Amino acid sequence: MTLSTPIRKVFQGVPDRRQMFRMFDRHAQRPFRWDGDASALYTGEWFETSPVDHDYMFEILPPLWMRGDMFAMREFLTGSVTGVFFALMIDGRVRHFHGYCDLADTASPERMRAAIINRESRPVKAMTRTERLEHIWSATHDDYRGYAGDRWPEADRGKRTVLFYGGRQGTSLVLLDGLTDAQVSAKLPVHLRYLPDAIAA
């Protein structure tokens, strides 16, 4: 069970179907993929989906269970973690979301539901630094993101990395968490660069 894993938004906006399937396994390139329990990597991640993609996922397989405005996927990603899809009334309209919940914790889907509604009900469109970094990771092609390997200092090995184009300084591999505010802004699409900072919920 991963009770301490934070619930976090990992993409700003509504992805298309190709992006949605990529985000179902954002950590596919992680080192030692088949070793150990990866539940903590996935539990708590969520993003918005289109109504069409929500319904498409409902029709792929019979759900594991349905509860009002949510249903769980029958296939587990890792351990007791599976995708849960939500159709939530927010500010007078129904919006659709996907999140990874650890079903060993029976309250996990309800906590996810409450966190999404809380985050998406904020009146000001804003992003925390964590949300900015997660969006960059989600939107970056696999060829341009990875994990720090043996050439990195021991303390950094296994951390997420992205390629950053620094103009005349050329392209360099940098730690995702180590991006400066200017680098974060440069990596974000234009429509997200100037959103105000948000206080994490």
The per-residue pLDDT for range 88-112, each reduced to its tens digit, is 999 889 999 999 999 999 999 999 9
> What was the pLDDT predicted at 2?
37
Q: Which of 106, 75, 101, 76 is nearest to 86 (CA)?
A: 101
Residues 107 and 174 in one domain: no
Mean pLDDT, rounded, of the chain: 86
Task: Tell me, yes or no, whether 94 and 142 share the same domain.
Answer: no
- CA 40/CA 131 separation, integer angstroms: 17
Residue 1 lies in a domain: no
Tell me, yes or no, whether 200 lies in a domain: no
Domain termination residue (choose one: 95, 120, 145): 120
Phi, psi of 91 (to 5 degrees): 50, 40
Q: 109 lies in which domain range?
A: 8-120
Residue 20: pLDDT over 80: yes
Q: Are residues 75 and 157 in the same domain?
A: no
Tokens of 41: 């990597």
pLDDT band, very low/low/confident/very high, at 178 (cuts 50, 70, 90): confident
Q: What is the model's pLDDT at position 124? A: 66
For residue 167, name the pLDDT band (cuts at 50, 70, 90). Answer: low
Q: Is 0.85 topped by the overall pTM?
A: no
Domain final position from 120, 137, 157: 120
